[in-house]
Amino acid sequence: MKPARFFCLVAIASATFLPASAVADVPMDSIRSLSESVSGRVVEWRRDFHEHPELSNREFRTAGIVAEHLETLGMEVQTGVAHTGVVGILRGGKPGPVVLLRADMDGLPVAERNDLPFRSQARGEYNGEEVPVMHACGHDTHVAILMGAAEVLSAMRDDLPGTIKFVFQPAEEGPPMGEEGGAELMVKEGVLDNPPVDAAFALHIDAIQQVGRIGYSRGPRYASVDDFGITVHGKQSHGASPWSGIDSVVVSAQIINALQTIVSRNMRITEQPAIVTIGSIHGGVRSNIIPEKVEMVGTIRSLDEGMREQIHQRVREIAEGVATSMGATVDVRIPLSTSYPVTANNPALAETMIPVLEQVAGASNLDELKPTTGAEDFSFISREVPGFYISLGGRPLDTPASEAAAHHTPDFLVDEGGFDLGVQAMAAMAWEYLSSNQ
């Protein structure tokens, strides 16, 4: 992979891929022209954010740059939403509904290995420890793309049939321990009100999907996520005389094995996948002491809210039943700290927007995606109002998918040549919804 590829714009001209039938209500010529005029600045913004990433609920510098940009565009700007969030309200010259466009702003505690002139060398504090910080999930691209879309749409405000809320969200990766944050807190603080939002859109850069392509789904896109904790209480004893105690380690092992039957024996896995994973287990200090207590934590993923509730119930029943049968007791906590609903695209909204994406990228450059067991807190927005969440290709044309670095890794890297498609997609989807729902 050649890093120099990322220092220039790759020419992916969506005008070359116009479908046979166009969406009549979207002024694509104007959107394309304005997007091209701001494309260089979008790249500059992205590189600046990449070089100066900030952790969840600490996006002060990023928020300041965003707020200043929205103010120069003449928007009503709210700051300090859900700690560091920014909301810009663009009121069009014509009456109509309200659309929300969202970008997440936070980086991750990851040390970057890429050899880029705008490589991050930032440091931050994560749960009381000093850590390196990197935009290892592409949120820097989301912010820059939405800033570009804001500039495009504000230049068209006189003809805009409605209102657009540009939402720059903190803490999508989860707030620090002991804090609230993210989309959940923004919704709680009223981001969907004043004026009330009718539909919401978001995108995510995808380092595995080829640049120049856009992905979508017509239903569930990302799984719900709930972390959970189980503490097993036994009776401590000498390792040489286990009969004199209640072995919390053996009880824990039986619980872990039994938990694996939830997906294989209780879930209708032909309908939607689900996952129950134990990721950490701790107990004891010596080889010859059976500990009184063992603690384990894990994650639950589901693409169906009914299955999600059933899994929660079965985790409790299994942990309590196994413990009781072996003379121990348990404390089960679901969720432990993180709890996101399923991120599902509204099927009717998806059908309306697919022709728009065909205009932007060309029908041959769209990918209908299967749901994944990752999670996204845009779900807190899309469960309240119809939502549509797309992916934007970021893998260079000359890089095989098998060689592309995954998200949340030190080598995560995206091609900047697809940013124009992101700006156009966000602007075009907003316009289509507003003009079609008068």
Q: Which of 216, 340, 389, 433 is catalytic?
A: 340
Which amino acid, 20? Answer: A
Strands 94-104 and 161-169, by their bridges, are parallel
Phi, psi of 289 (to 5 degrees): -125, 120
Is 429:190 a contact under the CB 8 Å cutoff? no
d(CA 427, CA 34): 10
Q: Which of 54, 151, 173, 416 is catalytic?
A: 416
Is 238:290 a contact under the CB 8 Å cutoff? yes
Give catalytic status of residue 222 as yes or no: no
Q: Kindly report the length of the chain.
A: 438
Give catalytic status of residue 416 as yes or no: yes
d(CA 249, CA 17): 61
Residue 128, exposed/middle/buried by CB under 10 A (0-12, 13-18, 19+)?
Answer: exposed
Catalytic residues: 340, 416
